[in-house]
């Protein structure tokens, strides 16, 4: 059976629920399974600054066969998700599609193109490296182990998340992964907490699996055990707490010392300078 050419179309032609279905459909058979619903899609990718005009759905015979979600901030863009249907894999479409995204980024005047790829996805890593992306760091995830009795001490004070984000933005040497950056945090449906006016945390308080999205300590108070104390208090208050999969690997000793276990799935953060 002859198939028509694969053509790209801006993702702005679909709504969040349709794009969630397309993304889940295209991820069939990948190294790590992935599904997402429309409401979660809208919340997650809006916080990451998705650009639907720059994101692309590739169609063949009128059916979605691949999807790339592009997020943008200033002169930086990021491949937030990329998936191709099994029937198109291994035919050079990955290189073709990524090349189109890079060309579009250059035309926009973007200077940096970021992405994350799961360690173990050897074909994906090889593709990105052939296209010029360079590994920057390894990103990991942690899960709190055991249970701790919650003793309300009044030390954790809830604050407006945007206050935490502003402090992080004013820390000029701070360069965080896209998902942990201040620009993502304050848009999430989470709660921000402060300890002793110097240590901050952002938590998504899901009853089944609360998620720690960011831990930040004022530069003047680092090295004083504030982060460790904050992690312990959060573990008590949010049983089953886990982090997002965007914690730089160098932070592992802190989490391990506080009774957190590292998840076996890790990612490489990669960058193409345009």
Tell me if 18 is assigned to some domain: yes
- Count CA atoms within 13 Å of residue 117 on its CB side: 21
Question: Which pair of tokens denotes residue 221?
Answer: 């108070």
Angle at 235 between CA 231 and CA 238, to 5 degrees: 130
pLDDT, tens only, 106-146 = 999 999 999 999 999 999 999 999 999 999 999 999 999 87
CB count, 10 Å around CB of 204? 16
Cα–Cα nearest to 128, from 136, 143, 117: 117
Domain-ending residue, one of 86, 110, 134: 110
Q: Quote the DSSP letter at residue 238.
A: S
Which residues, other chains included, contact 181 with Cβ-Cβ below 8 Å and sequence gap of 6+? 168
Residue 4, burial from CB neighbour count under 10 angstroms (0-12, 13-18, 19+): exposed
Domain-ending residue, one of 110, 134, 163: 110
Say which residue the tokens 């249970």 belong to: 147
Look at residue 36 in the predicted model and tell me its pLDDT: 94
Q: What is the pTM of this model?
A: 0.93
Look at residue 149 in the predicted model and tell me its pLDDT: 59
Domain-ending residue, one of 56, 86, 110: 110
Question: 151: domain range?
Answer: 142-265
Q: Are residues 70 and 172 in the same domain?
A: no
Angle at 130 between CA 265 and CA 109, to 5 degrees: 95
Number of domains in the chain: 2
Q: Are residues 148 and 258 in the same domain?
A: yes
Distance between CA atoms of residues 185 and 46, nearest Å:
11
pLDDT, tens only, 25-64 = 999 988 777 889 999 999 999 999 999 999 999 999 999 9
Q: Are residues 103 and 150 in the same domain?
A: no
Tell me if 126 is assigned to some domain: no
Tell me if 124 is assigned to some domain: no
Q: Classify 205 as helix, strand or coil.
A: coil
Tell me if 153 is assigned to some domain: yes
Q: Are residues 146 and 245 in the same domain?
A: yes
Look at residue 152 in the predicted model and tell me its pLDDT: 63
Distance between CA atoms of residues 229 and 104, nearest Å:
46
- Name the helix (H) or strand (E) containing 1: none
Strand order in the sheet with 134-140: 7-10, 56-60, 63-73, 76-84, 112-118, 267-273, 134-140, 247-248
Residues of the chain with pLDDT under 50: none
Tell me if 132 is assigned to some domain: no
Cα dihedral 168, 257, 157, 170 in deg (nearest 10)? -10
* CATH number (domain holding residue 194): 3.40.630.30
Tell me if 175 is assigned to some domain: yes
Report phi then psi at 199, rounded to 5.
-120, 130
Q: Are residues 157 and 92 in the same domain?
A: no
Tell me if 254 is assigned to some domain: yes
Cα dihedral 202, 207, 211, 215 in deg (nearest 10)? 30
Tell me if 121 is assigned to some domain: no
Q: Quote the DSSP letter at residue 183.
A: H
């Amino acid at each position: 059976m002859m198939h028509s050419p694969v053509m790209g179309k801006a993702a702005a032609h679909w709504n969040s629920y349709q794009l969630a279905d397309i993304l889940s459909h295209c991820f069939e058979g990948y190294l790590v399974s992935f599904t997402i619903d429309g409401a979660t899609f809208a919340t997650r990718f809006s916080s990451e600054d998705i650009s639907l005009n720059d994101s692309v759905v590739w169609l063949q015979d009128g059916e979605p066969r691949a999807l790339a979600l592009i997020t943008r901030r200033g002169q930086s863009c990021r491949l937030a998700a990329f998936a191709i249907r099994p029937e198109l894999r291994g035919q050079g479409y990955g290189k073709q599609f990524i090349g189109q995204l890079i060309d579009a980024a250059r035309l926009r005047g973007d200077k940096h193109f970021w992405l994350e790829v799961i360690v173990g996805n050897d074909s994906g890593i090889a593709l990105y490296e052939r296209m010029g992306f360079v590994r920057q760091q390894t990103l990991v995830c942690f899960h709190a182990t055991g249970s701790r009795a919650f003793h309300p001490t009044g030390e954790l004070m809830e604050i407006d998340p945007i206050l935490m984000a502003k402090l992080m933005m004013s820390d000029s040497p701070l360069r965080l992964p896209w998902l942990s950056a201040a620009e993502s945090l304050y848009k999430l449906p989470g709660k921000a907490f402060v300890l002793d006016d110097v240590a901050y945390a952002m938590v998504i308080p899901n009853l089944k699996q609360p998620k720690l999205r960011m831990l930040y300590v004022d530069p003047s108070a680092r090295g004083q055990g504030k982060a460790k104390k904050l992690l312990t208090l959060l573990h008590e208050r949010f049983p089953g707490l886990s982090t997002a999969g965007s914690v730089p690997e160098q932070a592992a000793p802190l989490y391990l010392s506080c009774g957190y276990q590292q998840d076996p799935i890790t990612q490489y953060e990669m960058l193409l300078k345009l």
